[in-house]
Structures are given as structure tokens and as C-alpha cells.
Structure 1
Amino acid sequence: MIKAVIFDLDGTLLNRDASLERFIENQYERWKKWLCSIPKDKYISRFIELDCRGYVWKDKVYSQIVDEFNINNISWQRLLNDYIEEFHNSCIPFSSLISVLEELKSNAIRLGIITNGKGKFQMDSIRALGIEKYFDTILVSEWEGIKKPHPEIFHKALREVNVSPNESMYVGDHPENDVQGAMNIGMLGVWKKDLQWKNIEADYIIDDLGEIPVIIRELKGI
């Protein structure tokens, strides 16, 4: 019986691709006075390319953008600070996020988040989505000093919800960090499809968060 569901954040609960594009468009408009020599679509597309789906921290992204576009009137540090302070205002959830969390909680399922990233930044995104109250534990790699797929961060989340690995599932979009990391300690690994990956081994593969309660009901034989 599944007693707990632990989630990844970016690409799983947070539609990071859509959120990032919204943020970059807004950033360009905020700083247009200094960026107007760069075509907006070029600024957006290059940022997204350098960002590598969030796996490159933005100090490197902005320093490279400033160099490539020969931006002299604004520093990469100011653009980075703008990202840190403003990104949460552009956060977009995946469809059915709140309804799924409410359904799981109503069925006494304990909930958690394990996310790799910067502590305050990730918490700002979680709060912007309005979902912090649903979770019994939230672990962010920077604050934990360890990140997925290391088994200890999964074990810590399970200790905090007081559930054993075989009574839990982990839902995430990254095949190694999320799915394999969870399966390695005996959790059910649920992969939320991401088009950049193919032929992924997982216990379950979903397109939408709304499939999670269905899987849990099936496991209970309901």
C-alpha cells in the first residue's frame, strides 16, 4: 500500500520550461533600456539554450550572455540578481497540480518534495505555486548538503514522513536523478514524461499528474 508520494519540483510540479520563457520575456522588458540592441527573440532563445533545462546555474549563463552580446551598460551580476529576485513571479504549475495534491491529502497520503537546487530560490518557487502547505517534508539539496540521486536524501525524506521505501513512490522527470535514484532504495519510480528522454526504465510512466491517484487506487485494488 502506498502511504507517501514524494515529488521532484522542476519539470514535475513546476512547468519550468513555460515559467522560464515567461521570466525571460519579462526580464527583457524590465531591462529593455539596456538590452534594446539585442533582438528580444534572440535574447530569449540564447538564454534558454545556455540554461540547459536548469542544469547550468545562472552565473555562467549571464556572464556568457553579457560577453556574447557585448553588453557594457549592465553587469551579469545585476541580471543574475534580477533572476534570483523575480523568477518566482513567473512560476507556472502543471495542470491539475492543486487538485491532485488535495486528493492525495484527503486520502491520508503523506507528501514530500526533494529538489536539487538553491534553497531560498526553490522555496520561493514552491510558495509562488501556493503548495507549501500540502507537504510534510521539503528537502532542497543546497540546505541538505547532498543531492539526488544520492540515496541518503531519499532516505531522509522517508524518515520525515515515517514511511518505508516499499510504501512510497517518487515522481520526477529526470531518469537518473529522480526515477533511478528512487528505485535504487526500493521506492516505486514514476517518470513524468519529458520529450528530451527516450526508452526510460520506470515502474510507471505518466503524462499528467492526474494519473498519480489512479495508480495508487490500482495498487490498492480499488
Structure 2
Amino acid sequence: MKLINPQRFERLPDAILFDTDNTLYHYDPAHEAAIAAVREKVTRTFSIGADEFDRAFAEARHQVKSRLKHTASSHSRLLYLQRMLEIIGLGSQVMLALDFEQTYWRTFLSNATLFDGVKDLLDDLRLLGIPTAIVTDLTAQIQFRKIVYFGLDHYFDYIVTSEEAGFDKPHAAPFQIALEKMRPSGNCIWMVGDNPVNDIQGARDQIGASTLQKLHHGVQLGVGDTAPDCSFREFSELRQLLRHLDANRDTKDALICM
């Protein structure tokens, strides 16, 4: 763990917000397995080459994101796959689009694994009485499915998706809705995420949060305006920080009582 701005971590937080994708688990391996399963199914069904699938899918994703901008539906695999079929020249093919989407998410979830220490950290936060919320992009249904699949549905107090908020991070709405739900007792808020713009800069600029960036393969440490207040690789490091802050609180309370 590296405390870049240690003055931001002199006491326990009043609440902690967490990103989901690529923060609580490693996104890339799950996505790569899922897209490979869909590619295999599409190429087998229509006797097209893998390169043709990759080009059509990439173009479909680009078009959907360009049209829908920073909204939850801009991440919709169903819309990507519908548009991919149209680009290939097969029309919308609603039943096939639904089938391919189910293949994607079924494979994705079966290849997604929580990072070590996530549940232990959340147990610590519950024992400390620190409220928690997920603030995540994408549609509510699939994000809810992920939380249930990981067995985290009883660990977090609240969840805010960009579908509910109307905007993806780093827009203010997801962060503000989370705080409205949580009603923290103070203004010491931590944000844990991987994306230096959406999670780190967004939370700092929008709600003045102290920011903690989860680093692992494929994640670049934020710099300049996107630099976090703290970076870490293992969730056990956050547990150690919380224990240290809790011990300091107990020491201060004891001195006050003397």
C-alpha cells in the first residue's frame, strides 16, 4: 500500500463506496472467456470467420457507445450483439441476440472470481459499523446478478447503478445518490475503485472523497488530476489500515477519559 496523501487517512471513514467491475474481481479474464464463447457460437452458427465476428462486434460496440454516450445501456451486451447481427447482414435476430447474450453472461460469471480478502474486508467494515455502498456502471439487472453470484448481497448496505442514476461515473449523480441513501454521520468518505478517471477523479471532484485505487495487471496508476490518495494491490492492506486507524481511535478515547 502507498499512502500518497496520508493526511486523508488519519481516522476511520464515515462511509465507503466501492466500484464493482475490475475492483472487487478481475474483469479481463472473465470478459475474454465470455467473448470467446460467443465468438465460437456465432462462427459455428453462421459459418463465418473469427476475424469477421471480431470486426462486426467491435463496430457494433463502437456504434452503440457513440449513440448512447455515458449511460448504462451503452454497456449493454444485448445491444452490441443485436447490432453485430445487423452489421453481418442478418437483421436483428431477436432470439439469437438473447441467446448469445445469455452465453456471454453465463460464461462471464463462471470465470469471474473475487479478489482475495474482499469478504474479510467487508466483514471488518460491518463490525466497525461503517456503512458501505456499491457505485457501479451498467444496468441494474446484470450488476445485481453479479453481486448475488459472488455472494455479496448481504455484505453491502446499498447499491447504485448508472441505470438508476441516469449517468455513468464520473458524473455526480451516482455518487450523490449513494450518499443520499447512506446518510453518513460525517463527511469522511472513501471511494475504492480501479478507474483513475471514473472512480478516482470522479469521486474526488464530485463528493470530495478520499480515493483508494486498486492496482493489478492491466490497471495503470492515476497521475495528475487522476492520481489517487492511496493505492493498494491486496485487500488485506486495507484491512491493516483500518485496524491501525481503529487502534488509534481507541488510544485517543482512552487518553480523553484519563
Is this contact kept in 1: 2:211–2:228, CA < 8 A? yes
107-116 or 150-159, which moves further after superposition?
150-159
Unmatched 5+ residue regions in structure 2?
Answer: 1-11, 63-71, 249-258
* CA deviation map 1:79-136 (0-9, x unaligned): 5423543444322133223333233323322211011211212212222222111111
Deviation at 1:174, TM superposition (A): 1.5
Larger radius of gyration: 2
What corresponds to 2:31 in structure 1? 20
2:204 pairs with 1:187: no
Alignment-derived partner of residue 212 in structure 1: 238
Equivalent residue runs for 1:101-112 within 5 Å: 101-112=122-133
Q: Deviations over 1:47-84 (max 9, x none)?
A: 579758x975446643664467x464x85655542354
Instruction: Compare 197-206 and 8-17 and name the one that shifted more.
Output: 197-206
Match of residue 6 from structure 1: 17
Alpha-carbon distance, 1:214 to partner: 2.4
RMSD (Å), alpha carbons = 3.4
Gaps of 5+ in 1: none
Q: Which aligned pairs between 1:1-222 and structure 2 lie closer than 5 A?
A: 1-31=12-42, 33-39=44-50, 43=53, 47=57, 57-58=76-77, 61-62=80-81, 65-66=84-85, 70=88, 72=90, 75=92, 77-78=94-95, 80-82=97-99, 84-89=101-106, 90-91=108-109, 92-96=112-116, 97-163=118-184, 166-184=187-205, 185-193=207-215, 194-196=218-220, 198-199=222-223, 200-220=226-246, 222=248
Conservation of the 8 A alpha-carbon contact between 2:81 and 2:101: no
Contact 1:88 1:128 in 2 (8 A): no
Distance 1:12 1:42, change over 3 A: farther
Alignment TM-score, normalising by the size of structure 1: 0.78
- Identical aligned pairs, as a percentage? 26
**Structure 2 counterpart of 1:129, one-letter code:** F
Matched-pair contact (CA < 8 Å) for 1:2–1:216: no
Q: May I ask how many residue pairs the two structures share in their alignment? A: 219
Determine the C-alpha separation between the residues in 2 that align with 1:209 and 1:50: 36
| SS of residue paired to 1:14 | coil
* Structure 1 residue aligned with 2:9: none
- Cα deviation for residue 18 of structure 1 reads 1.5
Alpha-carbon distance between aligned partners in 2 of 1:210 and 1:35, rounded to the nearest angstrom: 47
